[in-house]
Homo-oligomer: A and B are copies of this chain.
Amino acid sequence: MRPSGRHPEATREITLTRGFTRHAEGSVLVTFGETRVLCTASVETGVPRWLRGKGQGWLTAEYGMLPRATHTRGGREAARGKQGGRTVEIQRLIGRSLRAAIDLKKLGEYTITIDCDVLQADGGTRTAAITGGCVAMVDALRHLQRSRQITTDPLKQLVSAVSVGIYKGEPVTDLDYDEDGAADTDMNVVMTEDGGIIEVQGTAEQAAFSRRELDALLDMAEAGCSQIFEKQREALGVRD
């Protein structure tokens, strides 16, 4: 039924390549099928003005899409002089999701910036960005610990994200571009390893959806995130 021939509950092939670039404290190329996002985590000393002196750190995220990551070329936001609404919405989501994964008190007065740049888009860039950004963030936290800048681990637990939706009447996991454009409902779910929900964003595209459909989608999201946590742990060399 799915254009890709995937089973409804199957995610695309997911890979997480650490150390993809060399300068950042964390640098991960994440792919969800043909979607490819470069996630870097940069550590800077200090926190934004409004947090100074509170003895805690901060994490923020920025998102961008290379102009020709998509089927047709999109204008370069730097040239247009402003970030689009979709960009702003996504980077706020990434930031909130990853802040939920760490204890900002334990981070101390450091700021971690997660840059998620989409090299190639085929649906699900925001969930790939959260998933890959989490791994880059862990590398940055390890860097801070190795260099003795912090002495306890701020990580509470891993965070991953997946999109689910109703495509031709059926709930499916990890929609690609072809499914995304045709789906009735599109939902992004961010979860913690122990099954907690960090963020749910569900939107009716064509028709309202019911509680029953919402439940089915949440079930799928839980299953999808479980698979993704496996990939993250494997990439990070941790056992569950």
Chain A residues within 8 Å of B, Cβ to Cβ: 21-24, 27, 34, 36, 38, 40, 42, 44, 62, 64, 66-73, 76-79, 81-83, 85-89, 91-92, 96, 100, 113, 115, 117, 119-121, 187, 191-192, 194-204, 207-211, 214, 218
Contact = CB atoms under 8 A, between A and B. Distances in A.
Contacts of A69: 21, 23
A208 B197 contact: yes
Nearest to A157: B208
| Copies of the chain in the assembly | 6
A66 B204 contact: no
Q: Which 9 A-B pairs have the closest CB atoms?
A: A196-B208, A77-B78, A40-B68, A42-B73, A200-B202, A24-B68, A78-B78, A85-B88, A21-B120
Contacts of A89: 85, 88-89, 92
Contacts of A121: 23
B83 A78 contact: yes
A68 to B, nearest CB: 4
